[in-house]
Structure 1
Amino acid sequence: MTIKVGDRIPEANLQRIRDGVEIVDTPTLFDGKKVVLFAVPGAFTPTCSERHLPGYVQHFDQFRARGIEVLCMSVNDPFVMQAWGQSQHVPEGLQMLADGNADFTRALGLELDASAYGMGTRSRRFALYADNGSVKKLFVEAPGEFKVSSAEYMLDELAAMD
């Protein structure tokens, strides 16, 4: 079942690299915080590297000015996510999270079968806004599109909530 507005973020573990590989659970990431999570089908892939992540890097300070944490997730390993973040000059504080086995992606109901492209199970391209672990906004892209999960679109939607 796909997550929807009003649902709680499901409990799952993700990985990130700080002082080595670190496992972080979703309650730690979401509870008591305002969070934008955006997910991409794959690190280093064209749309993800040329448009999706760069938009959140460019507008990172605008999210932070609103007191919002920004998380980027992909079904990749944490070393790939770290390398991708470094190559994209991700600012400190924008967390690059790995969902290596797609456990969190499946819990959200947002998995994508990319086997035809040799990529196995991946995440659909999406962005969500959660407040204290509850989904307030959710934008899932149609296959092959990049419109509603962009940083600019999310900022417009957040401004409309004010």
Structure 2
Amino acid sequence: MSIAKGDTLPSATFRELTENGPEKVSTDDIFKGKKVVLFAVPGAFTPTCSINHLPTYLENRDAILSRGVDEIAVVAVNDAFVMGGWAKATGGEGKIRYLSDADGSFTKALGMELDLSGGGLGERSKRYSMLVDNGVVKELNVEENSGQATVSAAATILGQL
């Protein structure tokens, strides 16, 4: 069963690339006592994610934060080094958090796994965005087609804030 509005996020541990290497960060570290916009992509450096999805959050970062959001984070079933490289390549380093769900455990706990083995990518995440307030999902926007970034783009979240 997939996560839904009103549900509490499951406990999980991500990895985030820092100047000291990959460091563990928990769902409590990210969401406890904060309002966070979290969006997921099937894969860092993939065309739709890099060209159509992530840029909407970078371009609308200030507008989102000005509406009471404490932080914006992106998560993908990629390792911390790939996510760190993507942060640098996209100019998003220090602007949003790039979280690695390398083994897909968070994605599976949400019921958001997506089998992209046919395209050579293996198990990944569905494309979605959510507004999370103190660990509780307030808004959830899941793409029907992982190759599109419309319902989960920053404009939708802005309209929900």
TM-score (norm 1): 0.94
Mapped pair 1:4 → 2:4: yes
Partner residue in 2 for 1:46: 47
SS at match of 2:141: strand
User: Is the 8 Å Cα contact of residues 125 and 140 (structure 1) preserved in structure 2?
Assistant: yes
Deviation of 1:91 (Å): 4.7
SS at match of 2:150: coil
- The Cα offsets for residues 81-132 of structure 1, whole Å up to 9 and x where unpaired, read as 1111111100514100010000000011000001101111100000000101
* % identical equivalent positions: 47
Mapped pair 1:20 → 2:41: no
Mapped pair 1:86 → 2:88: yes
- The Cα offsets for residues 28-69 of structure 1, whole Å up to 9 and x where unpaired, read as 111100000000000111110001011111111112222311
Mapped pair 1:127 → 2:129: yes
State how far apart, in whole Å, the 2-side matches of 1:114 and 1:87 are: 24
State how far apart, in whole Å, the 2-side matches of 1:2 and 1:114 are: 18
Equivalences for 1:6-155 in 2 at 5 Å?
A: 6-18=6-18, 19-68=20-69, 69-143=71-145, 144-155=147-158
**Superposed CA RMSD:** 1.0
SS at match of 1:66: coil
Change (3 A) 1:59 1:91: farther
Q: Which runs of 4+ in 1 moved over 3 A?
A: none
TM-score (norm 2): 0.95
Q: Partner letter of residue 129 of structure 1?
A: L
Q: Partner letter of residue 64 of structure 1?
A: L
Q: Partner letter of residue 138 of structure 1?
A: L
Deviates more, 1:57-66 or 1:111-120: 57-66
State how far apart, in whole Å, the 2-side matches of 1:55 and 1:130 are: 18
User: Is the 8 Å Cα contact of residues 57 and 91 (structure 1) preserved in structure 2?
Assistant: no
State how far apart, in whole Å, the 2-side matches of 1:26 and 1:117 are: 30
Q: How many residues align?
A: 158
5+ residue gaps, structure 1, are none
